[in-house]
């Protein structure tokens, strides 16, 4: 992860430039799945933003590989149409786009045929000679069933072989396995052809700016870390709520479900950023050691501490939604969960006794990803003779998306003769300090691979530790199908059992909402109270 410091709001515009001024080294990026959705929606737009920002070396080139028969011109033309339609604000910089497309080449190839890799080797050798570099980054933007076979073929063709001054790296997309055994098997398979430092396992949540900011918030400020433990924190809530359903991905989702799709990967990345011990540096292994240790400290999850849900028909943001079981390619009696809520315990000195509540789901009322850290309440003694039953807790809320920023809620005296306590908040919104960056979230990730910084990528042991933490629950749910599905309406806040999970310990989920009022007063959290 690249780091830079700033001296206050006046330096904000420089801090917004997340990538340092230097170019990536000369290299060829080979994209397997060049015609796929990921390439169109995220990889190519990210490359365009890097090109536009002047981050790519002049000797940069792209080879797109896929099974469709098309020419380089046709490939680039379809990408141009997509870029023009999808960029916000509309329109692309013609010079930057032409700079990039002039460096792009399409190659037809079957991912399982050795000839593809022989052909690729020749093409790469030509490009390498022209650009005077043999550095190559292979991006597996394919279905996960190709991860093992493509890496094996790359290895057999000698394409993973590094030499003096010429690195070879591979980006592996999600999902990395679908349980502990399959993740271990995939690691073992690819580690026969690659060393660990050649593998970049992506979790795209780490490409989100406010997620990267968590370590800076914790470790570059004097005020948070001393309170970041069980002496001061009552509990933590991590929410990743989506308004979308399965969007035509019924076949994939039926064998995946919300737990596999979101928890040991995206939600655990947020958990790790909040819960890990301070690393001794921003060095990739120093950071990844601490994340792995955190996952290893997760207490086995009991099914009593987990709630699964599946949406029934309803309406989300005014759009009517059919129940999950009527989505295409979904079984009529499906037991696949589209919602999950968990209570996690972390068995270490910092967090013992502090519950971490995680929830994620489809067809919820708002699209919002946020982390709320609720501090212990102030002692009550001063208010003993008042009608006040409890003092509202201070909450630090980190808003990951869409309204990026953070706020701290606290209690103040309302001006006036009587002592009246009101809840207010200090708020930081990215949009108030920083120019919005044209970014799709993959820019930093691709940039970091090109410069060889693996901090934001998952190591084999980290991925396995995360799967190990949910393994028991996956097994318990697979053995016992759900008998109450569907159990929440599309557009509702999830199953009632998720509320009970917190209520049994006297706690409540914070409301899910996408927008926060600028002065971020949370009457739902801090109710006005009045002394006698
Ligand atoms: C993906 C999941 O990894 O992340 C999807 O497979 C989910 O089901 C998506 O919708 C959420 O990512 P984001 O960045 O839109 O919050």
Which residue's CA lies nearest to atom 9 of ligand 1? 262
- The strand pair at 168-172 and 311-312 is best described as unpaired
Tell me if 174 CB under 6 Å of ligand 1.
yes
Which residue's CA lies nearest to atom 15 of ligand 1? 242
**DSSP 8-class letter at 206:** G
Which residue's CA lies nearest to atom 6 of ligand 1? 261
Which among 261, 324, 442 is the best mutation to test ligand 1's pocket, defined by most ligand atoms within 8 Å of the CB?
A: 261
Give dist(CA 118, CA 159) in Å, integer.
9
Ligand 1 center from residue 247 Cα (angstroms)? 11
Chain mean position to CA 376: 28
Within 10 Å of residue 440's Cβ, how many Cβ atoms?
18
> Average pLDDT by consecutive 10-residue portion of the chain (532 residues)?
42 39 88 96 95 94 97 95 76 92 97 97 92 94 97 98 94 97 98 98 96 96 97 98 94 96 98 97 96 97 97 96 96 97 98 98 97 92 69 94 94 81 91 89 96 97 98 96 96 97 96 68 46 40
- Residue 256 Cα: closest atom of ligand 1: 6
Give dist(CA 318, CA 490) in Å, integer.
11
Q: Which of 215, 212, 270, 241 is nearest to 444 (CA)?
A: 212
Which among 240, 254, 265, 266 is the best mutation to test ligand 1's pocket, defined by most ligand atoms within 8 Å of the CB?
A: 266
Tell me if 261 CB under 6 Å of ligand 1.
yes
Within 10 Å of residue 449's Cβ, how many Cβ atoms?
22
Which residue's CA lies nearest to atom 5 of ligand 1? 261
pLDDT for residue 412: 87
Give dist(CA 325, CA 250) in Å, integer.
9
Ligand 1 center from residue 363 Cα (angstroms)? 13
Phi and psi at residue 216, to the nearest 5°? -70, -45
pLDDT for residue 20: 55
What CA–CA distances, in Å, run from 105 to 34, 222, 411, 453? 10, 50, 60, 26
Tell me if 59 CB under 6 Å of ligand 1.
no
Ligand 1 center from residue 234 Cα (angstroms)? 29
pLDDT for residue 199: 98
- Alpha helix stretches (DSSP H) within 401-485: 430-433, 443-451, 460-479
Which residue's CA lies nearest to atom 14 of ligand 1? 205
Tell me if 242 CB under 6 Å of ligand 1.
yes
Which residue's CA lies nearest to atom 4 of ligand 1? 262
**DSSP 8-class letter at 419:** -
Give dist(CA 498, CA 343) in Å, integer.
10
- The strand pair at 104-108 and 199-201 is best described as unpaired
Burial class (CB in 10 A: 0-12, 13-18, 19+), 3: exposed
Ligand 1 center from residue 240 Cα (angstroms)? 9
Decide: 305 and 470 in contact? Cβ < 8 Å.
no
- Residue 208 Cα: closest atom of ligand 1: 14
The tokens describing 216, both together, are 């800076």
Ligand 1 center from residue 242 Cα (angstroms)? 8
Q: What is the pTM (predicted TM-score) of this model?
A: 0.92
Give the three-state DSSP class for 169: strand
Helix (H) or strand (E) holding 157: none
Query: Which is catalytic among the residues 49, 105, 204, 266?
Result: 266
Examine the residue annotation and report whether 266 is marked as an active-site residue of this protein. Answer: yes
């Amino acid at each position: 992860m690249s780091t830079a410091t700033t001296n206050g709001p006046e330096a904000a515009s420089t801090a917004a430039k997340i990538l340092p001024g230097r170019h990536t080294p000369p290299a060829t990026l080979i994209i397997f799945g060049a015609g796929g959705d990921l390439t169109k929606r995220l990889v190519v737009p990210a490359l365009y933003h890097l090109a536009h920002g002047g981050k790519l070396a002049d000797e940069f080139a792209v080879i797109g590989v896929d099974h469709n028969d098309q020419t380089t011109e046709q490939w680039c033309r379809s990408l141009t149409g997509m870029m023009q339609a999808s960029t916000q604000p509309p329109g692309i910089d013609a010079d930057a786009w032409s700079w990039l497309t002039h460096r792009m080449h399409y190659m037809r190839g079957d991912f399982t045929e050795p000839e593809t890799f022989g052909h690729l080797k020749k093409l790469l050798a030509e490009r390498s000679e022209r650009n005077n570099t043999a550095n190559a980054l292979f991006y597996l933007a394919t279905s996960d069933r190709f991860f093992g076979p493509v890496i094996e073929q790359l290895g057999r063709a000698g394409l993973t072989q590094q030499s003096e001054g010429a690195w070879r790296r591979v980006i592996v997309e999600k999902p990395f396995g679908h349980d502990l055994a399959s993740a271990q098997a995939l690691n073992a398979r690819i580690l026969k052809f690659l060393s660990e430092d050649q593998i970049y396992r992506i979790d795209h949540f780490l490409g989100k700016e406010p997620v990267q900011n968590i370590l800076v918030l914790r470790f570059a400020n004097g005020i948070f870390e001393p309170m970041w433990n069980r002496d001061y924190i009552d509990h933590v809530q991590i929410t990743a709520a989506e308004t979308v359903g399965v969007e035509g991905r019924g076949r994939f989702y039926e064998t995946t479900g919300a737990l596999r799709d979101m928890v040991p990967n995206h939600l655990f990345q947020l958990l790790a950023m909040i819960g890990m011990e301070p690393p001794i540096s921003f060095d990739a292994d120093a950071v990844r050691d601490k994340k792995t240790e955190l996952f290893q400290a997760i207490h086995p999850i009991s099914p009593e501490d987990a709630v699964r849900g599946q949406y029934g028909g309803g309406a989300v943001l005014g759009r009517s939604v059919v129940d999950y079981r009527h989505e295409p390619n979904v079984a009529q009696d499906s037991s696949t969960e589209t919602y999950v809520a968990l209570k996690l315990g972390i068995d270490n000195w910092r967090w013992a006794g502090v519950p971490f509540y995680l929830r994620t789901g489809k067809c919820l009322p708002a699209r919002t990803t946020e982390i709320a850290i609720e501090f212990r309440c102030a002692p009550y003694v001063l208010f003993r003779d008042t009608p006040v039953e409890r003092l509202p807790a201070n909450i630090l809320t980190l808003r990951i998306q869409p309204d990026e920023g953070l706020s701290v809620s606290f209690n103040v005296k309302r001006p006036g003769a009587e002592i009246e306590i009101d809840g207010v908040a200090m708020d930081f919104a990215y949009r108030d300090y920083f120019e919005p960056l044209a970014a799709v979230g993959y820019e930093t990730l691709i940039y970091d691979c090109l410069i060889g910084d693996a901090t934001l990528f998952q190591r084999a042991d980290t991925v396995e530790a995360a799967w190990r933490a949910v393994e028991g629950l996956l097994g318990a749910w697979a053995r016992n199908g759900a008998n109450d599905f569907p159990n929440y309406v599309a557009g509702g806040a999830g199953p009632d059992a998720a509320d009970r999970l917190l209520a049994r310990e006297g706690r409540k989920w914070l409301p899910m909402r996408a927008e926060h009022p600028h002065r971020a007063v949370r009457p739902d959290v801090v109710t006005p109270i009045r002394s006698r």
